[in-house]
Amino acid sequence: QVQLVESGGGLVQAGGSLRLSCVVSGILFRFETIAWYRQAPGKQRELVASISSGGTTHYADSVKGRFAISRDAAKNTVSLQMNNLKPDDTAVYYCNAREVPRPWGQGTQVTVSS
């Protein structure tokens, strides 16, 4: 059974940092591209960053230079380091497989105050 468990969110002031973690179980983690998404109130879910099995990364223009995605195959974990956070980064953050999304997890709330 597939499980995606996100953690690490919280309340932070603008300019601050947070590190999100996603523990993935039940899928062939080492073969799949894993992505972080976010959904702000009243908006559609959007892709934030992704990392392939080979380590190739992709970032949304809005987070380039501020966010960094990484993966640890031994721990089946994908992390998202978020620096220089802005109020527009406020959202619920989710992780999922990029090509074949599985049922969504609970997500983790990130709130950035100005």
CA atoms within 13 A on the CB side of 3: 5
Mean pLDDT of the region 57-80: 96
8-67 tens-digit pLDDT: 999 999 999 999 999 998 777 778 999 999 999 999 999 999 999 999 999 999 999 999
* CA distances in angstroms from 8 to 3, 32, 56, 62, listed in the order given: 17, 22, 23, 20
For residue 99, pLDDT over 80 is answered with: yes
Contact 79, 22 (CB under 8 A): yes
* Residue 3 β-bridge partners: 25
